[in-house]
Copies of this chain bind each other. A is one copy, B any other.
Amino acid sequence: MADLKSGVNPLFLREEDLRQGMELLFCGWRDFAGEPDPLLARRQLGRAHHRAVYFIGRHPGITVGELLSILKITKQSLGRVLTQLVTDGLVVQLPGARDRRQRCLKLTATGEALERELTETQRQRLARAYRTAGAEAVEGFRQVLLGLVDERDRNRLAGAPAPQAPQRR
């Protein structure tokens, strides 16, 4: 298995470095994503709800289809979560102006409050990590992660972190 270490290839491509990166990614995500779990449990919600609320908050007016392509889950899975969020009064669905088939999603005031509360713990964790690592490290962090995501999503993530839903409206 000791195949790569012989090479004079760039240091950061060694087997061991890649392994370490994978593990960091696993643990980083594990602890980051798990942070709001207690808060969610208190409201009978799960991570799926958090993800939906987060992206709706970030892209007010986003359609279900757009949300699906971000979350990469099926309509049905999202539908369940969305139904609960609507009946709980955290999200509203408005028929699209341009295309009335669409349901444009927005957070209610309550939904926004929840989103802020949930994300706050994560924001703090990330901010701490950013502060400790420094601005240059943050830039590297971004670049590597950007290279990790599928081509399709790079545009949305890379340049303009659009605060509202992209192109269509």
Question: CB-CB < 8 A to A3: which residues of B?
Answer: 135, 139
Majority secondary structure of chain A interface residues (helix, strand, loop or mixed) = helix
Q: Are A143 and B149 in contact (CB under 8 A)?
A: no
Residue A148 lies at the interface, judged by CB distance under 8 Å to chain B:
yes
User: Binary interface profile of A, 115-135, with partner B (CB < 8 Å = 1, else 0)?
Assistant: 010010011011111111111
- Besides A27-B70, A29-B33, 5 more A-B contacts (Cβ < 8 Å) are A13-B131, A23-B58, A24-B157, A34-B72, A139-B140
Considering the complex of A and B, which 10 residue pairs feature the smallest CB-CB distances, nearest first? A140-B140, A129-B147, A137-B140, A141-B144, A133-B143, A28-B145, A24-B145, A28-B148, A27-B149, A137-B143
